Chain A
Amino acid sequence: MSGWDTAMMLLWIAFKSVLLLVILLVALAMLIYVDRKVWAAVQMRRGPNVVGPLGLLQSFADLLKFVLKEVVVPDATNKGLFIAAPLITTILALSTWAVIPVNEGWAIADINVGILYLFAISSLMVYGTIIGGWASNSKYPFLASLREAAQMVSYEVSIGFVIITVLLAAGSLNLTEIVLTQKDGLGTMLGLPNSFLDWYWLPLFPMFIIFFISALAETQRPPFDLIEAESELVAGHMVEYSSTPYLLFMLGEYVAITLMCAMTTILFLGGWLPIIDVAPFNWIPGVVWFTLKALLVFFMFALVKAFVPRYRFDQLMRLGWKVFLPISLFYVALVAGWLVAFDMAP
């Protein structure tokens, strides 16, 4: 390949990445708004309704406020790490989106270990919090970072087993392939057209539930937001942060949430496949289906935040190690045995 081709390829990748980032960040601003609106609706409040029509511009006003404030770096902190921590969180969270296929062939990098990449990067995101909490040199952030380490390690185990069951059924580590294997499934076995009955949420239903709950824990969403539980730790690892660094932490957290929504969509809800592969539905482009499904998962995230009271930390550990780990381990063995016994392994 000549130097010119290489340069053009790099430019093309850069263009796609920038496009994805812009769409993602604007979508994120709207998602934060949706999150607050759903929360408010459950509690019979109005939610943000002042900035712009129906309060639609609230997130952008917040953005301006965060950016224009002064960055306060306390004197006793470990300065370099203190600034690096929010950057680590945000950059890692954004880099996961490089491998997400939102339509067939619409991934910036369609690598053949895509799911492992997602798992690896999402397990690295814990460092942003841990480093931030330690570098703050203050008690509440430090406690938060200890809690974060314990929580992430516990719930990665069950997420790992859930991913393994899906891999057993799909027979590939490539995200596009995982979606494509969901074209045929339980529904087509019964003679129905390709539909939502073929996706993995139905045969792997217990794992779908476990993945959803573990995703809540992995992204520190309520009811598992123990590292920033305001009644116990003020704001956890973000106590000493202000202005843009704080904004980056929040941004990273919400990007991680969108990532978990996208992962649920790809692993269990058939990615960009239409609900039923018949006339009006398969006219709609795949990327719209993907967005709709991811939004549905996000809506569930938002509802859980509003409905469920916060767990205690020992309950969280018990749920992870004594409930989810045995169930998911059993289901891995069950699915593997089933696939071998009926000769269905791909």
Chain B
Amino acid sequence: MIVQVFFWLFATLLIVSALLVITLRNPVHAVLFLILAFFNGAGLFLLAGAEFLAMTLLIVYVGAVLVLFLFIIMMLDVDFDELRARFSRAAPLGLLVGGVLVAELVFVFMAWQPSPMAEKLRAAPVAEGITNTEALGRIIYTDHVFFFQMAGMILLVAMVGAIVLSLHHRKDVKRQDVAKQVARQRKDAVRLVDVKPGQGL
């Protein structure tokens, strides 16, 4: 009973906040509702018994990715009137692209047939006495470790690529060298001088 109440609560809030994400004018509010949507998604995962996925969703998306999202969007200086004007100009094109996508999805789902293997896998019994964190760990890190490593390599290449693209080292600015600062001694920098009155240095 309680599970059902919470399911409807999470599901309704998820859909409402997802709708608000794309309809709200203020982008910061939209991101905040995106956070709420993720939160409810995590709640649904919890109800389905996937507590590890729920927590990972919160840690990775809400705790890190959306913080950076918010960080960027808060710094944008958005002119709402201009945005609205541009929206009405771009609306026909957007509708066209959206319509094409919907049509494609409809075709895909009409032709789609689940493989008999998938049905068997879904019916496979869950091993007793294993939490789903352990089960996930076995699948990812033991059974399919090669694919995991491959995904890791692709991500690494993407990371290096992003850094190479965005890093340009300017030569004309003065940079701080921490090692040099720490190595600096008093005797290199300070000198005690006994100045005679009226003479100066």
Contact = CB atoms under 8 A, between A and B. Distances in A.
Given A112-B51, A149-B67, A120 B133 contact: no
Given A113-B52, A116-B56, A120-B58, A146 B71 contact: yes
Contacts of B51: 111-113
Interface in B61-96: 62-64, 67-68, 70-71, 74-75
A185 B18 CA distance: 49
B2 interface: yes
B55 A116 contact: yes
Nearest to A167: B133
A173 B55 CA distance: 12
Interface string B15-53: 000000000000010001001000000000000000110
Interface in A111-155: 111-113, 116-117, 119-121, 123-124, 126-127, 130-131, 134, 142, 145-146, 149-150, 152-153
A123 B178 contact: no
A124 B36 CA distance: 12
B59 interface: yes
Contact of B74 (A126, A142, A152, A173): A142
A113 B32 CA distance: 26
The interface size bin for chain A is 20 to 34
Nearest to B26: A78
A160 B64 CA distance: 12
B1 A113 contact: no
A228 interface: no
Nearest to B67: A149
Contacts of B12: none
A198 interface: no
Interface string B133-169: 1000000000000000000000000000000000000
A145 B28 CA distance: 13
Nearest to A131: B32
A240 interface: no
Residue from B28, B63, B133 having most chain A Cβ neighbours under 10 A: B63
A130 B67 contact: yes
13 contacts: A111-B51, A112-B51, A112-B131, A117-B55, A119-B59, A120-B62, A120-B63, A124-B63, A134-B28, A134-B74, A149-B70, A152-B67, A160-B59
Interface of B: 1-2, 28, 32, 35, 51-52, 55-56, 58-59, 62-64, 67-68, 70-71, 74-75, 131, 133, 176, 178
